[in-house]
Chains A and B, each alone.
Chain A
Amino acid sequence: MVLTAADWQILLLTLKVSLLATLYALLLGAALAWVFARFRFVGRDVLDAVLTLPMVLPPTVLGYYLLVLFGRRGALGPWLEENFGIQLVFTWQGAVIAATVVAFPLVFKSARAAFEDVAKSMEQTARTLGSREIGVFFRVSLPLATRGIVAGTLLAFARAMGEFGATLMIAGNLPGRTQTLSMAVYDAVMAGDEARANTLVFLISVVCVTILALSGYFLAPKR
């Protein structure tokens, strides 16, 4: 099995897109999870359902929503391009957005469960010991929720690696520009290039198995 320069380029782009998407999903997911675990507010259940939607909607539907939002004639697309010069359609940045959206609920769900599992008496004790809310968060809540957040983040990364449908809709399948591993596999199979398909499938499998093994380690109960 030999990796060509093009294969390496695809692997690097895939890693770049999924790592960035995972980072965004982690920051957004953990922050919102904390808010949901901590506060009751009007529309909480509806918002929860909307945030979980990417887990159940077909990726193509998500991609279509993203086009409606960020496309050249979309709701936000022209504004983004005028003010920030950001173009999301047919760019790798668009692929990052798509992967972030599909990966987000995985972080959100497990981080929320992790924050909700932190015993109230722990946080209250920290307050009686003089901690401000920011201290309570960084010294008690976050450390105690870390395992759950890390596990969700690893799953999110695996999901982002394998993202196909939504990415195809918004970023397209442009070799050398927006083509990720899963799309290259599709192209290789369609072109009847079995050797190449095998190589790419092997690559993506190795990365995903590694991630799942890691997340199994982090999900396992302590001791």
Chain B
Amino acid sequence: MLLSVDIELSLKTRQRRQAREFSLHARFESAEDKVVIFGPSGSGKSVTLQAIAGLIKPKRGHIRLGGRTLFDSAAGISLPTRSRRIGYVFQDYALFPHLSVLENAGYALRAWPRPLSREAKERILYMLDVFGIAELATSVPSELSGGQQQRVALARALLRDPEVVLLDEPFSAMDLLLRDKMREELAAIQARFNVPFILITHDLEDVRAFADTLVIFQHGAVANALPCRDIVQREGVEAWPGIFAACGGAFTAAAARN
């Protein structure tokens, strides 16, 4: 998947009653299917993800994905979120509490206000089966464990037929054992559906597990973009400590700034 991001934006935030301005200038490219955006909190990685999804509109720049231009300020293009064909998995999964697992997963397949078609239901059940949660189809989200909720959120995003899935710190709310398990699951799902994804994290294990391209953010800008898959192919696993050191640098810089 060809991804090219070059965006500038500034956000007004409030912290302890103090108005602050956060400015972001993110610029990176990737031709890989697994992109990891790494950086400390407040470095702008979440904002970048939201800009790609069209939930925030940058002031200037462009976002291109595959052959499509999602946003281009110079050409006056800004596709609405609903037309971007992007799956978004929020940190808190954002499952609809009033809908069953089946209705959650099939949200995009329902031609509202008509009910779900039989074919759509079969497709949803098949997907739930792939994720091993078919027996939970009639449950509501509050009855599910964290891992099950994430499976539903991911199934829901995939059933939208996205060109890319964006994952916002997908494992941060899980305990360590579950994290490892869900990482393996995500890798297997990615391979099976061959769908590109962009994942943001501040966990080095996610970098090791997923980063074909690694983009390191540091207070509102891209500090480094590394083609990890190429590097590791060339230099072997001995390359990881060097990559991790680059990641650590972003944290040290953030700590020095605060």
Q: Tell me, yes or no, whether A129 is within 8 Å of chain B by CB.
A: yes
Q: For B113, list chain A residues within 8 Å (CB).
A: 138
Set A121, A126, A128: member contacting B84, Cβ < 8 A: A128
Interface string of A126-155 (1 = CB under 8 A from B): 111111100100111001100000000000
Interface of A is mostly: helix
Q: Does residue A210 face the partner (Cβ distance < 8 Å to B)?
A: no
User: Per-residue 0/1 for B200-238: is the Cβ within 8 Å of any A Cβ (1 yes, 0 no)?
Assistant: 000000000000000000000000000000000000000
Question: How many A-B contacts if CB must be within 8 Å?
Answer: 59
Of B92-100, B121-129, B179-187, B243-251, the stretch lying at the interface with chain A is: B92-100
Contact A128 B86 (CB under 8 A): yes
Rounded to whole angstroms, the CA-CA distance of A139 and B116 in the bound complex is 13
Question: Known interface pairs A130-B108, A130-B160. Does A125 touch B94 (Cβ–Cβ under 8 Å)?
Answer: yes
Q: Is the CB of B92 within 8 A of A121?
A: yes
Contacts of B108 in A (CB 8 A): 129-130
Bound state CA distance, A129 and B108, in angstroms?
5
Closest A residue by C-beta to B98: A143
Q: Do residues A121 and B90 form an inter-chain contact, with CB atoms below 8 A?
A: yes
Given A128-B81, A129-B107; A223-B86 close (CB under 8 Å): no
Q: In the complex, what distance in Å separates the CA atom of A132 from the CA atom of B110? A: 13
Q: Which of B55, B83, B84, B113 has the most CB of A within 10 A?
A: B55
Other CB < 8 Å A-B pairs besides A126-B107, A128-B87, 16 of them? A121-B90, A122-B94, A124-B55, A125-B90, A126-B96, A128-B53, A128-B55, A128-B86, A128-B88, A129-B82, A129-B160, A131-B82, A131-B112, A138-B112, A143-B98, A223-B142
Binding site for A on B (CB under 8 A): 53-55, 80-84, 86-88, 90, 92, 94, 96-98, 107-108, 112-113, 142, 156-157, 160
